[in-house]
Structure 1
Amino acid sequence: MKTIVKNNVSWVGYIDWELETFHGDEYSILNGSSQNAYLIQEEKTVLVDTVWAPHRSEFIENLKKEINLQDIDIIVANHGEADHSGALSELMKEIPNVPIYCTANAVKSLEGQYGKNGWNFNVVKTGDSVDVGNGKKLVFVEMMMLHWPDSMATYLTEDNILFSNDAFGQHLAVEELFNDKADPCLLEKEAMKYYANILNPFSPFVSKKIKEIVDLGLSIDIIAPCHGAIWRNKPMQIVEKYVQWAEEYQEDQLTIVYDTMWEGTAKIAHRIAAAAREACPDTVVKVFNCAKADKNEIMTEVFKSRAIAVGSPTVGNDILTSVAGWTHFLKSLKFKNKKAAAFGCYGWSGESVKLLQGRLSEAGFEVVNASVRAQWNPDEEDLAKTKTLVEELLK
């Protein structure tokens, strides 16, 4: 079923309430999501993106109810990733000669995934345009590394709609489609989670690309991303958020992340939280066991934090695999301008704190000297060291 976005532009995507994970199992979906595709019906009919392969048949059947597929003049592939292109190969069996407008890297992506089928690719770069009739044009803007090398956005003149693909989206099912119909707190939370877990490593590109879009002088009335709510009410609010988030973002928050074997490291984690509450009552403090809590939710909290403390006991001359995997993920997200400290218990060899300090430093954090390293079960003397650790983290 299509829904009018503005004038002759409709949403023809798929709302996925049952989706639980994304990028394999790398990203948690807690509130559903959507794969947004759009239909422009001017003198030329344009399809902007498709949906994920599991929904391809439903997508094409729904599209057939709205238009004759033979009337599609142009397909825009803003990004070749499977959640946007999964229905494309099935669709092209019906309309094999329709031109596909995309970047040069998107050609590589699409042919790499679906084979060399002789599709009619029209390679575009920033500033290129195509007339769709009635005085309107599509203007293409390369969005390299937001979040793949093949990404681009497409702007529809006169209607002033930016089809932004993965930029400015969020994994959130909004049946009513638009941001003014969504829960604003949940919308911002999911938008931040999406940025922190997917786009943060590319923050330097975000800042540069937003400036480039601003310099193009485009008047933007609607931002239509590929996932989640369409921004029609004050659409530049999400752009302003991206500007903030891309600049080594932090709030007054301390996030404590740990795993434990026999609860000793857990005791230290919770004493750090208590010490922080006492020393800095206005600082938000959150504690997570990374073996039990959702890793993407934790990373969103790390993104918000000015400091973190990470703990693991020593096991096999190393740290727990749950913490090791989490710190590997932490490094990949390339957070900047944040402090970190390490803590943990041990019975015999006691390497965990030093190993954690090294991992945190490699992940780009400023590691403070203070730590809490306790043999066996931490006693009051060990736990008293949390005060110094908090002072160095939050001073």
Structure 2
Amino acid sequence: MSEINISLLSENQNLSKFEIADNFTCIRFLDRQKERFELEFNLEKGTSFNTFFIRNNEELLIIHPPEKQYLNSFIEIISNFFNQYKLKKINFISGHINPQIIETIKNVSKRFQDLTITCSNPGFKLISELWNQRNPNLEEFFEIQLPKINIVKKELNLELSNISLELIPIPTARWPGGLIIYERNQEILLSEKIFSAHIASEYWSETNRISTEIDRKHFYDCLMAPMSNQVVSITEKIADYDIKTIAPLHGPAIEYSLKSFFNDYIRWGENLSTNNPKIALIYASAYGNTASIGDALAKGINRTSVEVESINCEFTSNDVLIKSIHNADGYLIGSPTLGGHAPTPIVSALGTLLAEGNRDKPVGIFGSFGWSGEAIDLLESKLKDGGFQFSFDPIRIKFSPNKPKIKELEEIGTHFGRKIIKKAKKKPRKSDTGMITSKTDPKLQALGRVIGSLCVLTASKGKDENNIKGAMLASWVSQASFSPPGLSIAVAKDRSVESLLQIGDSFALNILSEKDFKEPLKRFTKPFSPGEDRFEGINIELTPNEQIIIPNSLAWLEAAVKERMECGDHWVIYAEVLHGNILKSDCLTAVHHRKTGANY
């Protein structure tokens, strides 16, 4: 088979090519830069975008066209196909639709005339809305005729020369135009966003079942968890197919232990579907920026035991919305501002919330804007006049949030979730027997006698305007290995600093002295406001890797996270010690004594 000439176009934008079958090729666009939209949630491994090309007679089918940042490479690849194989037509098959992908299709349509887009019915609605809508994030704007659209209403089979495709709509709140493709002959599933991971891998597939598990679970927690019920249903449907390979939109393919992988995805979702309090997150998002704010809030809420139900009001019936509002223990509603107004679906959803919502339940509002923020003003005034109580000040973000702002949004979400839990605990109980038992249970009293060093864990990540800092008081600390020297720390899932303790991250452990622990204890046990600087007003020093040493410490250790294990309501982190020093050789370590193992 003739090779397609694909060159490396820049240091940060490489290409990998994989031949799946005759006339069936995957081009992976590799991006090693970390500061990109949606990568607020990455593990700093870059990302990749998988686009698939199928030649069928004189037509080139392109599944999952990439975003505009890859445009030059993309057009060059299409030109090579057209020149080498004398092609005349293009059929874009896409379920993942955003303004950047629309810009890619529009630019391609200027150069290649005979063009069709195949998409789901919600995808058609999104494309129609975005086609001639000016995105304030983009400097360039031009009007061009919308291509011919082929709508997949339920499922669609495409029988090509040696390729057999089944197109399956999988609408979700975050991606209503979702469309996955199953190729029967190769038994490969092109799964789009579901099962993805943000990894810039040059290899076609992961090396083994667990090599990318942390990355895929992280992607799930950040973007899939708020719509876990939908994701579980999709996964159960997909699991019935004969699949040898899963090729997602982002990251390497999955070829090992697929049954176990499906079970994990279902288990992650079912673990969230509990009788815990629930929050209805209602939003519309023209360019993805408002959705990104909602994702960050949801991630923070999910650190608590509160479940988030994500509701894209552009694609949700009023009956479903009313049911969600009635079942929720709190509400979040977000909107972009388009032409000085809120989108019509948000105005309608706001009316439903005003009519059906419980004024005793907390509410929060958020939104993004380009030049103004009238939609956020509308939400605020109507809900305030309607008697709702705001849990936090309205969130107003111009364009998309940067990494420090994302961290602050997560903290706002965690605070919101804690308020919901606190309110739920105040509800009358049939019996307080469980509470009394927990205080007097002998095993918990015995567990409380396990003591640990009283420490302050500090973490810093990123540079300049993208620098994020965090800290927490830690007493569940223990040496874990001699060679290499290592320690383990238990970190509650709702701790803000937890997101800075991923594998590969560094942190400092400030061990407190029994003589001078009161001041740092007072500072780091008080609740911090979202975005508040934990170190304001103290003279900090830095470790060799620029982690934070606080005053009055007995000693400090700098360590790098090597492993993470999920343990109930905590993460247990194993870290290798890199550096350390004694600051007060004549003092003893402060120790945390407890009467019960039921709390700190």
Q: Give the TM-score taking structure 2 as reference length.
A: 0.44
* Partner of residue 160 from structure 1, selected from 187, 197, 206: 187
Among 97, 121, 129, the alignment partner of 1:104 is: 121
Kept after mapping to 2: 8 A contact 1:193/1:297: no
**What does the per-residue CA deviation read over 1:318-337, in whole Å, with 9 as the maximum and x for residues that have no partner?**
8422379xxxxxxxxxxxxx
Aligned ranges 1:30-69 → 2 under 5 Å: 30-43=44-57, 45-68=60-83
* Secondary structure at the counterpart of residue 246 of structure 1: helix
Q: What SS class does the counterpart of residue 61 from structure 2 fall into?
A: strand
Alignment partner of 1:126 out of 154, 157, 163: 154
Q: CA deviation at 1:187?
A: 1.3
Q: 1:60 to 1:148 in 2, by over 3 A?
A: same
1:285 shift after superposition: 1.4
TM-fit CA distance, 1:218 = 2.6
Aligned-pair CA distance for 1:313: 5.8
Distance change (3 Å), C-alpha of 1:269 and 1:34: closer
Separation in 1, partners of 2:501, 2:232: 23
Distance 1:71 1:240, change over 3 A: farther
1:391 to 1:6, Cα distance in 2 relative to 1, 3 A: farther
Matching of residue 192 in structure 1 with residue 217 in structure 2: yes
Q: CA 1:220 to 1:7, structure 2 compared with 1: closer, same or farther past 3 Å?
A: farther
- Say if 1:266 and 1:83 are closer, same or farther in 2 by CA, change over 3 A: farther
Q: Deviations over 1:52-82 (max 9, x none)?
A: 2111111111232234484444220121035
Whole-angstrom distance in 2 between the partners of 1:241 and 1:170: 15
* Residue among 16, 26, 30 paired with 1:11: 26
Rate the CA distance shift 1:157–1:322 in 2: closer, same or farther, 3 A.
same
Q: Secondary structure in 1 aligned to 2:220? A: helix
Give 5+ residue unaligned stretches, structure 2.
1-5, 7-16, 133-143, 274-302, 305-409, 412-453, 458-470, 481-487, 504-522, 534-567, 570-588
Q: 1:297 & 1:161 partners in 2: Cα distance?
A: 31
The structural deviation recorded for 1:172 is 0.3
Structure 1's 85 and 248: CA in aligned 2 closer, same or farther, altered over 3 A? farther
CA change 1:185–1:201 in 2 (3 A) is: same
Given candidates 149, 169, 175, the residue that maps to 2:196 is: 169
> How far is 1:291 from its partner?
6.9
Q: Quote how far apart the aligned CAs of 1:90 are.
A: 1.3
State the match for 1:95 in structure 2.
112
Q: Does the residue aligned with 1:99 lie in a helix, a strand or coil? A: strand
Asked if 1:220 corresponds to 2:236, the answer is no
Q: Which has the higher contact order (CA 8 A, sep 6+)?
A: 1
Residue 202 of structure 1, CA deviation: 1.0
**Residue 26 (structure 1) aligns with:** 40
Alignment deviations for residues 235-268 of structure 1 (CA, whole Å, 9 cap, x no partner): 4443232122112169xxxx9999xxxxx99599
| Alpha-carbon distance between aligned partners in 2 of 1:6 and 1:82, rounded to the nearest angstrom | 31
Q: 2:178 aligns to what?
A: 151
Letter in 1 for 2:476: A
- Structure 1 distance, partners of 2:264, 2:165, is 26
Structure 2 match to 1:244:
267
TM-score where L is the length of structure 1: 0.64
Task: From the superposition, tell whether residues 184 and 155 of structure 1 become closer, same or farther in structure 2 (CA, over 3 Å).
Answer: closer
Equivalent residue number for residue 551 of structure 2: none
Identify which range, 82-91 or 146-155, moves more after superposition: 82-91
Partner of 1:273: 476
Equivalent AA in structure 2 for residue 273 of structure 1? W
Change in 2 beyond 3 A, CA 1:225/1:85: farther
Measured after TM superposition, the shift of residue 391 of structure 1 is 1.5
Preserved CA contact (<8 Å) 1:200 1:246: yes
Cα separation, partners in 2 of 1:59 and 1:245, compared to 1, 3 Å = same
Match of 1:333 in 2: none
Shift of 1:194: 0.5
Among residues 297, 320, 331, which one is paired with 2:529 in the alignment?
Answer: 320
User: How far did residue 269 of structure 1 move?
Assistant: 4.7
Percent of residue pairs identical: 17
Trace 1:200-211 onto structure 2 (pairs within 5 A): 200-211=225-236
Deviation at 1:86, TM superposition (A): 4.8
The equivalent of 1:342 in structure 2 is none
2:598 aligned to which of 388, 391, 394: 391
Once the 2 structures are TM-superposed, how far is the Cα of residue 3 of structure 1 from its aligned partner?
A: 2.0
Measured after TM superposition, the shift of residue 208 of structure 1 is 1.0
AA of the residue aligned to 1:200: A
CA distance in 2, matches of 1:171, 1:126: 29
User: Which one of the candidate residues 243, 264, 286 is aligned to 2:491?
Assistant: 286
Residues 111 and 117 in structure 1, CA contact (< 8 A), matched pair in contact too: no
* Shift in CA distance, 202/51, structure 1 to aligned 2, threshold 3 Å: same
Distance 1:93 1:219 in 2: 39
In the alignment, structure 1 segments of 5+ residues that lack a partner are: 259-263, 278-282, 299-310, 325-364, 367-379
- Preserved CA contact (<8 Å) 1:79 1:151: yes
Residue 55 of structure 1 aligns to which amino acid in structure 2? Y
Aligned partners of 1:168 and 1:239 also within 8 Å: no
Structure 1 residue 188: Cα displacement = 1.2
Aligned residues: 302
SS, match of residue 155 in structure 2 = coil
SS at match of 1:102: strand
Structure 2 CA distance for aligned equivalents of residues 295 and 323 of structure 1: 16
8 Å contact 2:89–2:114 — kept in the other structure?
no
Q: Identify the structure with the greater helix proportion.
A: 1
Q: Which amino acid aligns with 2:491?
A: K
